[in-house]
Amino acid sequence: MRNFETPTRSVAVSAQAMAATSHPSATLAAINILQAGGNAMDAAIAACAVQCVVEPGSTGIGGDCFALYAPKGGDQVIAYNGSGRTPAALTVDWFEERGLTEVPRASPSAVTIPGAIDAWTRLHADHGRLPLADVLAPAIAFAENGYAISPRVHRDWAKETPLLAADEHAARILLIDGRAPRIGEMHRQPELGATLRKIAAEGRDGFYRGAVAQDMVNRLRELGGLHTLEDFAAARGEYVTPVTTNFRGYTIHECPPNGQGIIALMILNILSHFEAKGAPDDVDRIHIELEATRLAYAARDTWLADPSKVNVPIEEMLSGDLARKLAGMIDLKRAIVDLPSFELPLHPDTVYITVVDSERNAVSFINSVFDSFGTGIMAPKSGVILHNRGQSFSLKRGHLNVIAPEKRPLHTIIPGMVTKDGRTDMSFGVMGGYYQAMGHAHLISKVLDYGMDMQDAIDLPRLVPASGLKPKIEVEQTVPAATIAELKARGFEIVPTEDPIGGAQVIRIDWENGTLTGASESRKDGIALGL
């Protein structure tokens, strides 16, 4: 039960259906689609398309997508990997010849072939109900007629003004007199609206072939990219088998590598060796969660890559022996010092959407351009902002995640699903790039270990290990001073975070009462709504 005297909000509760997203317009679009006879998959795609318009820093059709789907609320969870591959001509040699030791953000070399539209159209064809044109209609209307800028969207947009100003087409489409749109100001993206109309009429070919693909290829090659029309035409995601672990009697489902969902499971496996004592925000518990995360992230940076190109040791990563070994390294008196280095950015932007319909079909859906506005590269005629997911590759020869032709990078975005006794219990996700695996484990532990209200669990102050060998921790300003002092005494270096850490949405199914409960991130603009 929440404390009604604290400045938060109640969970949403309903009987028929529910949607939770990080933007009110997207949540409402999902609800409207459900009321029009669509199912959870229709509603999730509609909401995501809306966010690609009204929250363009966080997501876009020039990004990637992953999804988990539980038909009729069962435990046979379906996973789809909609992450894109590198151009066939791109090799590590290309970077070495130019003296590059990392993939530059605002460059074509950071752009893998976007996988989002392939994922949307495939998932819609296989599991949707309404025509695709109806599903994309709300997003098209916002793009063509305009939308009002919300507070968090403005904040994130304004921070990326220099990036957008550096690209003449991004500046023309996404800036107003050289600045970000202000809160309450109207903004339009007619080029993007026309592209969405083309996708609505032609499906995936409207994006990966023809004029839109040509526009993206032309812009990328103009800037020195190696992308071809053949690369776009060959783009395909795939259905994959989820990876799972058991935590406190529940089965936690994640998409397998190249995504980092397996790392969330590793963290939970480590946490399963510790009894949940004291309060959810007790400093000992925070210490354990931080160290479990640092250990699992070290394994991730060594082993996680595209399993279609290299051997990723999935069984070993999820083994009980490894979890026991890592749990045994945690000392509540002192932070661990001897860890491998981290190589990934901290918490880029993403949107996460979850929808459960009246038939209890549950969709866990995530879409991203990685950093806010991705590369900042805009395809001028189609209005597609292109992501920078290629920055997650290593340029070290011999590393499992080294960049190579037609390879998918280590991916941060991860949808989650929880089942128990043959039924779906929870559809959830936590945004925030590098933070996401920790965020998944943190949320699940707070709800299942401590019985927390889902909104209260989301609202807890957040901490995340930062990059580097040292036990360096980024903390939100709401973390209590006493907690910070105790963590410092245990050897952690504390650094205030520049931005709120991550964001979450979750819907839980109460089978006994026939109801749904939802929560949405207080750090974002969104809401959970039900029918």
**What single string gives the DSSP state of each residue in 126-177?**
HH--S-HHHHHHHHHHHHHH-EEPPHHHHHHHHHTHHHHHTSHHHHHHH-BT
Residue 199 burial (C-beta neighbours within 10 Å; 0-12, 13-18, 19+): buried
Number of other CB atoms surrounding residue 272 within 10 Å = 19
Angle between helices 24-35 and 40-54 (to 10 degrees): 150
**Residue from 121, 350, 354, 412 carrying the catalytic annotation:** 350
Please give the biggest Cα pair distance in the chain.
63
H helix runs in 168-260, sequence order: 168-174, 190-202, 205-208, 210-222, 229-233
User: Mapping DSSP to helix (H, G, I), strand (E, B) and coil, where does residue 530 land?
Assistant: strand
- E-state strands within 17-71: 18-20, 64-70
| Residue 429, SS3 per DSSP | strand
Q: Please give the Cα distance from 466 to 502 (Å, whole number).
A: 14
**339 near 295, Cβ under 8 Å?**
yes
Alpha carbons 191 and 112: distance in angstroms, whole number: 22
The DSSP bridge pattern shows strands 493-496 and 472-475 to be parallel
The yes-or-no answer on residue 350 being catalytic is yes
Q: What is the 3-state secondary structure (H, E, C) of 255-279?
A: CCCCECHHHHHHHHHHHCCCCCCCC
Q: Is-contact 314 257, C-beta < 8 A?
A: yes
DSSP 90-121: --HHHHHHTT-SS--TTSGGG-PPP-HHHHHH
Which tokens in the block code for residue 202? 């032609």
Catalytic residue annotation? 350
